[in-house]
Amino acid sequence: MAQLFTPRATVRFRAAIILVLAGGLAIGALLFFWARSDPAWNLGKPAKQPIPFQHSLHAGTLGIDCRYCHSTVERAAAAGMPSAAACLTCHSEIWQGASLLEPVRTSAALDIPIPWLSVHRLPAYAYFHHGIHVSAGVACESCHGRVDTMRETVKTQTLSMGWCLDCHRDPAGRIRPQDAVFSMGWTPHDSSAPEEVKAFYREARSRLTDCSTCHR
């Protein structure tokens, strides 16, 4: 009886199996690293905003306080976005007729919000609250970076679960005095937290890392 498979065919067949397995592993590894890379989290990518608003000019050069435009950040879950009226306090005088600012005038006339696009958005199953962090002394800069130097607003942190937990396991060293929460480029005089703050967060650790704290 003639041999069904020649020895050479057997070698080829084995090689093919090994190649398929190796290829599968390589794709798995690529996906693994891609999911953990910066572009996968949209870091540094600006959104196409309806108006070319610049933080670097308004919060940087002009030094307007974050709370002027993000007015609920100290008490609510959401920081809040500025209404057209907030822009028109100045822009009914400066750059009054500019076509750049057309969406501001339209939204004021129709009494609808300006359709800003979000660059920071958590999935609906994760719970976040600005007020709690701001009142505990966690600075805007710790989570959003140097917004005062951004021409276009971008994400500087992944906002991944691992990133949240990294701080929640031991926030003591990342807490600022209340008057520095809105400051940019602030460095502590003394990086070690007071003993009572450290003790508080040793105690709070299990609550802050409990699944139900962020998934409710």
Stretch that binds ligand HEC, among 5-13, 20-28, 187-195, 200-208 (CB under 6 A): 200-208
Asked if 136 and 74 count as a contact pair (C-beta separation under 8 A), the reply is no
Q: How far is the CB of 26 from ligand HEC (least distance, A)?
A: 23
Task: Provide the token pair at 193.
Answer: 């937290």
Instruction: State which of positions 47-66 bind ligand HEC (CB under 6 A).
Output: 49, 51-55, 57-59, 62, 64, 66
Helix 102-110 to helix 84-91 angle, to the nearest 10 degrees? 120
Q: Candidates 37, 149, 178, 209: give the one binding ligand HEC (CB under 6 A).
A: 209
Q: What are phi and psi of 63, to 5 degrees?
A: 65, 30
Residue 43's SS3 state is strand
CA angle 154–87–123, rounded 5-degree value = 35
Q: How far is the CB of 208 from ligand HEC (least distance, A)?
A: 6
DSSP state of 58: I
Task: Provide the token pair at 202.
Answer: 């040793």
Nearer to ligand HEC, 5 or 68 (CB): 68
In one letter, which amino acid is 105? Answer: R
Residue 181's SS3 state is coil
Q: Contact letters (x/-) for ligand HEC, 23-42, by CB under 6 A?
A: --------------------
Over the Cα atoms of the chain, what is R_g? 26
Q: Does 19 bind ligand HEC (CB under 6 A)?
A: no
Instruction: State which of positions 140-199 bind ligand HEC (CB under 6 A).
Output: 140, 142-144, 147-148, 153, 159-161, 164-165, 167-168, 171, 174, 182, 184
Q: Does 122 bind ligand HEC (CB under 6 A)?
A: yes
Instruction: State which of positions 83-112 bind ligand HEC (CB under 6 A).
Output: 86-87, 89-91, 94-95, 100-101, 104
